[in-house]
Structure 1
Amino acid sequence: MRLDELPDDVIELRARAGDWRQAVRLAGDALVAGGVVTDAYTERMVQVVEEFGAYIVIAPGLALAHARPGPDILHDGLAVVTLDEPVAFGHPHNDPVEVVLALAVTSTEGHVTVLAELANAFNDPTATRAIAQATTPDAVRAVLARTQSES
C-alpha cells in the first residue's frame, strides 16, 4: 500500500468529534466509504481502545486506530481523518489527538509492512501537524509522499 496514493474516499478533513469514540468511528466510516472494511470493523477498533487503553496514540497528536485481521476487512487499507478540534484519548503524554489514522490489514505480515511504512512517514516530527492543517486530500498525500521519499 502506498501512503501517498490514498483515494479521496478514505481522507476526511476537519471532521468534528465529541470524544475519542466518535473520532475512531469517523476513521472507521472513512474505511467503509473506501470499500476497505465493513461497519463491524469500526466497532472492533473502538473495542480495542476500550480493552487496552490509549496505546493507539502513538505520537503527540496522532492516533493509529486498528484491530486484528478478520472477516470484516475486505482488503488492506488506511484512512486519514483530521479533527477540527483535537480530542483526548486518555494518553498521558500524546493527547490531545488531531489526526486519526485507521489501519485495516488482512494478514499479520501486512500489518508489519504497513506499520514500517507509517513509522517512516511519521518519522518527520512535522508530519502530523502538516496533515492536521491540510485543506485537501492532495495536501495530505503530498505530506505522506514527502515523508516517504525522505526515509
Structure 2
Amino acid sequence: MISDWLTPDKINVIDAIDSWENAVLLSAEPLLAQGYVTDDYINAIIKSHNELGPYYVLAPGLAMPHARPEQGAIKNGLSLLHIRKGVSFNSAENDPVYVVIMLCAHSGEEHINMISELANIFSDEEKLNRLLKAADLDAIQAVIN
C-alpha cells in the first residue's frame, strides 16, 4: 500500500526550487538519510536524465525519478517532493513539474508492484489533480490514503 511506503517523514512541501537536478536531489534526501538508497542511485537517475532526457516525467506536473535496483536501491521506498510553483524538467509536454515521487525498489518485481499501486492515483484524474494542487502534508496524505 502506498501509505506504507510513503510515510510523512518522506514527504516535503516547498514553494520553489531552481532546477530539476536539485528537485531530484531534494526528493531523494529522505530515502538517502534513512538507508533506502545510496548516492549511486541518485547519480544514476541524473546520468540517465542527461543521456535519455526526462523519460520519467509521466504526466503534466508529475515526475517519478527512479533507477534500476542494482544501481543502489537497498530497500523498497517512496518519497514525495511537492513544489508549489513547479520546476522545469525539460519535458515539453509535461512541464512544469509540481510533484516528484522518487521510487526505489530492491527487485524488479517490487518495482512493478509499487508502480501499479501508484498507477491507481495517476490514472484517477481527480486524485491526480488533488495531488498536484495539494498545499500541505495533510492534503497530500488525504490523496494517498
- Counterpart amino acid of residue 3 in structure 1: I
- Counterpart amino acid of residue 44 in structure 1: A
Q: Distance in 2 between matches of 1:84 and 1:10?
A: 17
SS of match in other structure, 1:24:
helix
Q: Structure 1's 71 and 57: CA in aligned 2 closer, same or farther, altered over 3 A?
A: closer
- In the other structure, the counterpart of 2:80 is 80
Tell me, yes or no, if structure 1 residue 3 matches structure 2 residue 2. Answer: yes
Q: Structure 1's 57 and 96: CA in aligned 2 closer, same or farther, altered over 3 A?
A: same
Q: Distance in 2 between matches of 1:55 and 1:85?
A: 21
Aligned length: 143
Q: Structure 1's 58 and 17: CA in aligned 2 closer, same or farther, altered over 3 A?
A: same
Structure 1 segments unaligned to the other structure (5+ residues):
146-151
More divergent stretch after superposition (19-28 vs 67-76)? 67-76
Q: Deviations over 1:76-108 (max 9, x none)?
A: 111110013211111121111000010101111
Structure 2 segments unaligned to the other structure (5+ residues):
none
Deviation for aligned residue 1:112: 1.1
Q: Distance in 1 between matches of 2:126 and 2:19?
A: 24
Deviation for aligned residue 1:71: 5.8
Q: Percent identity?
A: 36
- In the other structure, the counterpart of 1:135 is 136
Contact 2:69/2:104 (<8 A) preserved: yes
SS of match in other structure, 2:55:
helix
Pairwise CA RMSD? 1.7
- In the other structure, the counterpart of 2:124 is 124
Structure 1 segments of 4+ aligned residues over 6 angstroms from their partners? none
Deviation for aligned residue 1:139: 3.0
Query: TM-score, with normalisation over the residues of structure 1?
Result: 0.85
